[in-house]
């Protein structure tokens, strides 16, 4: 059920950035969102971090912080951002993005703000080989999304942790919503192995894939 093209631009849009132990990286993303002028609010959800994520966000002007006392998973962080916002559109952004520009964000929002689509997602192209390759293999598993609020209001699988992207895709497909795929040339993401070390990062990556598979098995 893509929205009809009425020519009306929706002004109410907030950015939501889930973050877990992203103190060294989160401001690079949050500042781009804040300074772009595209969003009414930029909401960072600290998902029970043990580092200084909450402190660096609180010290930065123009950002809002929602904090979980314990780690509850990405899906619950996305839910908390949704519940903290009253905007008609939500734009989700990962906290560990690289080389993202205001132009990238505008391109992600445009299909939904214009009314041509009800949801959009971004895929990396021409950036780091590994992150671009991963998204070419699974283009719909992206944390960079713009989606109309009412579509999230009927979404129920908020316990899927890292499987939330797959769950959202299935939810939108059942509603008959075609997502607009937007390319982000040059953008990329910090690998888990870089953030946590090879063993811990690889273990976290396996956990992410486990959540994705579990959410799909649960729904099918």
**What is the per-residue pLDDT across 183-194, written as a single tens digit (0 to 9) for each?**
999 999 886 555
Residue 2 lies in a domain: no
Q: Is the residue at 67 inside a domain?
A: yes
pLDDT more than 90, % of the chain: 68
Three-state SS letters, 166-189: HHHHHHHHHCCCCCEEEEEECCEE
> Is 5 domain-assigned?
no
Q: Is residue 62 part of a domain?
A: yes
**Strands 97-98 and 188-189, bridge-based pairing:** antiparallel
* Burial zone of 101 (CB within 10 Å; 0-12 exposed, 13-18 middle, 19+ buried): middle
The alpha carbon of residue 51 and the mean position of all alpha carbons in its chain are separated, in whole angstroms, by 21
pLDDT value, residue 190: 86
For the chain, give the mean pLDDT: 84
pLDDT at 107 over 50: yes
Residue 3 resides in a domain: no
d(CA 201, CA 23): 17
Pairwise pLDDT comparison (137 vs 178), residue with the higher score: 178
Rounded distance between C-alpha atoms, residue 75 and residue 92, angstroms: 11
Residue 7 located in a structural domain = no
Question: How far from chain centre, in Å, is Cα 19?
Answer: 10
Structure token pair of residue 117: 């689509």
Distance CA 180, CA 218 (A): 26
- Domain extent, residue 62, equals 13-219
> Domain count of the chain?
1
Task: Write the pLDDT tens digit of every residue in 130-170.
Answer: 554 445 545 567 899 999 999 999 999 998 776 899 899 99
In a domain, 32, yes or no: yes
Domain assignment present for 187: yes
CATH number at residue 98: 3.90.550.10
């Amino acid at each position: 059920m893509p929205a009809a093209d009425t020519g009306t631009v929706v002004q109410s849009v907030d950015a939501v950035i889930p973050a877990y132990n992203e103190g060294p990286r989160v401001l690079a993303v949050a500042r781009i969102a804040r300074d772009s002028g595209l969003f009414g609010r930029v909401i960072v959800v600290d998902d029970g971090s043990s580092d200084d994520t909450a402190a660096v966000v609180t010290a930065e002007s123009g950002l809002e912080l929602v904090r979980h006392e314990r780690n509850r998973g990405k899906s619950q962080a996305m839910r908390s951002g949704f519940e903290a916002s009253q905007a008609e559109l939500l734009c989700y952004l990962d906290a560990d993005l690289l080389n993202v520009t205001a132009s990238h964000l505008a391109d992600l929002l445009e299909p939904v703000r214009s009314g041509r689509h009800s949801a959009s997602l971004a895929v990396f192209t021409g950036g780091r080989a590994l992150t671009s390759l991963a998204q070419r293999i699974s283009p719909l598993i992206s944390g960079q999304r713009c989606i109309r609020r009412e579509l999230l209001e009927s979404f129920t699988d908020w316990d899927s942790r890292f499987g939330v992207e797959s769950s959202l895709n299935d939810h939108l497909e059942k509603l008959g919503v075609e997502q607009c795929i937007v390319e982000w040339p040059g953008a990329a993401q910090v690998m888990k192995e870089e953030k946590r070390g090879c063993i811990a990062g690889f273990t976290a990556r396996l956990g992410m894939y486990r959540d994705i598979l579990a959410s799909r098995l649960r729904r099918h």
